[in-house]
C-alpha cells in the first residue's frame, strides 16, 4: 500500500472534527512549502505600470462580469 493510500485509509475513519484538524495541518504544510520568488525586471515593470495607471484602468471586474463580457459560461 502506498503512503497516500494509507493516509486515505486512516482519514476515512476520522470524525469530521478530526479530519478538519488533519486538513488544516496538511494545508499549512503545503502553504509553507510554496517557494517565495523575488520579482524580476518584467514583474517590476508590470507593477510600475499598474501603479501609474488611471483609476479607471484599475477597476475591479468580477469573474462573472468577465465571463459575460467574453461570452463564456461559468
Q: How many domains does the chain have?
A: 2
Q: Which three cell numbers stand for residue 58?
A: 484599475
Q: Return the DSSP state at 53.
A: S
Question: Within this chain, do residues 48 and 27 fall inside the same structural domain, yes or no?
Answer: no
Mean predicted lDDT score pLDDT of the chain: 91
pLDDT at 56: 83
Helical H segments across the chain, by residue range? 3-12, 16-32, 41-52, 63-70
Question: Within this chain, do residues 27 and 47 fall inside the same structural domain, yes or no?
Answer: no
Domain range for 11 is 3-32
Q: How far is CA 3 from the centre of its chain?
A: 25
Q: Which residues contact 59 (CB under 8 A, 6 or more apart)?
A: none
Measured CA to CA, the distance from residue 26 to residue 66 in angstroms comes to 33
Question: Within this chain, do residues 64 and 46 fall inside the same structural domain, yes or no?
Answer: yes
Instruction: State pLDDT tens for residues 37-61.
Output: 999 999 999 999 999 998 888 888 8
Q: What is the pTM of this model?
A: 0.44
Question: Within this chain, do residues 46 and 66 fall inside the same structural domain, yes or no?
Answer: yes
Amino acid at each position: 500500500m502506498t503512503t497516500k493510500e494509507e493516509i486515505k485509509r486512516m482519514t476515512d475513519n476520522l470524525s469530521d472534527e478530526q479530519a478538519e484538524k488533519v486538513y488544516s495541518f496538511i494545508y499549512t504544510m503545503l502553504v509553507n512549502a510554496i517557494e517565495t520568488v523575488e520579482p524580476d525586471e518584467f514583474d517590476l515593470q508590470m507593477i510600475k505600470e499598474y501603479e501609474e495607471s488611471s483609476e479607471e484602468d484599475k477597476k475591479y471586474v468580477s469573474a462573472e462580469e468577465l465571463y459575460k463580457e467574453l461570452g463564456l459560461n461559468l
